[in-house]
Structure 1
């Protein structure tokens, strides 16, 4: 292998490289490394697919890339002899690269990593790259030609492959939380691609080809080889590589959709998808099953057992699901059936009666009989009602003091249920504020230009001791209707100013916090007095507090609203026009309102970029905001496609939505900011 033949019998065979083909081979190495790193990065995030699936896909991608790079690089070398390949060895040569890539990514992805693990990972990767190269060299057959290696260059090629692999995997691991950033991934892929291509061409420099002195050579520096076989093999391998990239992208989208919209325990659509569909689709019938007193089962048997009970219940509910109804798991103890056609109401009612009969029988869970206490709240929509009213109605039924958990189906009765539920919330709201049942969460706003969080929106939540978690869509309309939202808004402003003081005292961050103001409170002198008083009491600069006022509040009392906003701005507060585009706007009034921020409603974002109409509206609103020198905030952004479209449409948009983060508690905001400042292109699919 390292010995040269007799000079009397053999002469050195000289060759030339095609620079464009060399460049192509290096590009292939980089593309393969980038694809492999992308899949390896996904292995840390998916809960629907095992980590090893992504590692296998990453290893296949890297192995194919190394293999393709080698044979494309070989085809760049022109020799004046006929060349062909041993097909068996050619295909076998990809195996060590795949195995080594899998082991390297496995070692570098472990939660506990040491310098030894980096060394092992790099050693395995470098060895795999080298093994692939030299097995591939053995597959190359040339008539009458023999070759030998220069030991020093041979060893150097292996060392470089190992060292550069170690460096690439080390950098990849250190910057693992940033690898969703395109630039970081490109740099690491370039380093890893360098390991592959440098090893190959140093390995080629290590080999010397010899031909018998009496052998006739082809004219010119070109060789005749099995071009068809090589071209087809490389084409198929590259098609497979890019196919894997496409498949991984589809899987990634599937995983993101599953994490966002489906319950991991039952695989049923979750509350978020339910609320989204209630908002966007026309639901006319709703039935919600409530499983009572699961806490007792928890205490007696543990969470694992209760999980099995819930899964068994979901299977039972699926078995009675009518063809035209959808089934959701709303939360820990509630399931919902919905139908879009009012004619399906009778069909759904009959199915619920059948379900009730089945639930009366004990469930067999882990060889133990469990008898559940349940009730079903049933409601249909009236002509003048909206789909969103259905949920508040069934909640009113479930929270009525007369409800019995004896597998009954209770239809909503407005004279019985509405007043009782609403009054119970009104009676509880003072206690909720005093005992922190009401609490504030903060959803980050990210500047795509600065690539960091620049502010948050304060959002209200209610964890009721009796009714459980209440959606703001349920309790806020009730509080507004009963003139309680002014008191609650004052409480929110106090909580936000207190939190701003804490963040600034701890020298964590100075963030702009936006607070939603009810429409009928905008023009009240009480609001101005309260925000001035609270910011002064906590020593907070008013510039850190932004008041979000809905467009409809301006439309109703435009002159009073303009005067009120002028007063807020004079005191140093920011004012945002929220949900812009949903009211009946007058542009002549808009130019008079001294707002600082224009906030685009989520309803316009949902269809972007697929819907031409929504995209055109978004572009128009953004252009309007920029022409008026307003900061533009776009809420409800959930996908990468939406972010990419908005960043190309708007000069420096501020984006808010689940793509970046769900609403977080105060301490979680600081943690999220610290972990995502340099990786703000990464979505957080957390429920």
Structure 2
């Protein structure tokens, strides 16, 4: 059935119409023929029944006398007269008691199907597939004399019906043939216009020529379809030229969008989207073929300083030069992408040993070490590089990226301009960083911070002249957390602003307490973060905190780093001048580790330089450190600034610094950072 339907679906409309009409006509003729056959069968059976009734009635009349006198011989002779009737197969006469009186049989070979009933059957008739059985009473003037039973064959009926069926089939075949001939002529008039439309459509499809038109000379539905088809072609032809121009425009836009989606328009390197797609496929390949793929995260050091100082155009030019230099260090097939502002990423395929990736990192750092000349400015740019490998460190893209990012942060914390290969131990560090960041958000409200104070000493008198406020985090689970661990996190997520305000407020309140006790010679140094310096309301907040604490602003020193000053613009300089106008003094912390330059120092109202402890640590033995320290002290004096040395741990260091003009110092030689209450004890010891 399904195959017939599939075949019919594949046929043209002409064949479908023909099959439909022939099936309809054939079905109607067939039903009519079946009804005629059934009617004829009924009439044949009625005719046979009437004839059999007549035979039975005639025999009943003739045999009544024999039955009355029980003359079996006469009755047998009368019954034998049925021999001339071919369709009667058996007959019998029963006496009034229902017992067989006489019987008649034709020459029948199979007697098994023609057995006379042993008792007289009930009056009536019955048709089976092969026979008609008839039983009726024999009486004379109302007196019952017995009954007659006749069984007639339906063979003659079936013969007549077969001839009749053959005639009907012949008539039906002739009718279908005539109908098919008529249908062929009629369907041609219907299908020819449709075929014309189909040929026109095919021509348009093959040639793409919308000037071709369909022809139809009929006004019926097909003619209307042809006219509508031609109108549609007119509109398509008109729209076709417009679409061609639109498609070309869209292709140009798609090409541009694809480039924008996958490439960075500043450096012409692939972007983060392309990088992630490429890395995902390479990780799958590395796992499948047991190869090693390496990811390198590169974060430029101090790029923001260049970008903010020289402008975004200079920053973009610097990024292009960096991209060019990094690209030249790679092998054919390796991928480099710019994935953020000053962040780049490199994918190394099929790396046999991790040492090969290390060599690439070293080449990258070496290529970036060369000075870069932009707009007459000679710039030095470094980078922090994190390295992770698949499947050594991770078996999926996200873990691989996270490990490379973690390694890059470790490289940055090592002092920048270096690389770091990811190590399993760093997972714990990354988890700890996540824990610290989560806890840091609630540390202020839970009052987990405390201030320690490190004394600042006059080297000549060895007496305390001030203190530096240093924050400590008393974590309920991790214990005392070093500021080196949580301050960078606070800088990144912006929490350094409220934390810095808390430090300043707490330090000012403590300064007020000491001054009220008569220790007015003590000054308070507080570190100011770069993030705080960018706040628009910084000066107002400092004024408010100093005013509310009733602290002496002249005894308050705010410490800045060199990088903060290098990053400063006109607005920042104005803020610093407003702070100085309050009476607060400004100091440069860790001087000598950044971009030390007299040209920068002249721009800011700085009163004190603090020599970094890295230069003090090996004094006086290390001649280089001695030379640098001496130069810093001389430069400070030439700029009429004070000098304070950090990290003093030995008397030899203190003596060297004093002999070279450094008046003030702080370090473990004098005291570690201590809680506020211990400062009083240290002052008491000085007076002993």
Question: TM-score, normalization: structure 2?
Answer: 0.38
Q: Per chain length, whose mean CA-contact separation is higher, i.e. which structure has more relative contact order (CA < 8 Å, sep 6+)? A: 1
Larger radius of gyration: 2
Question: TM-score, normalization: structure 1?
Answer: 0.38
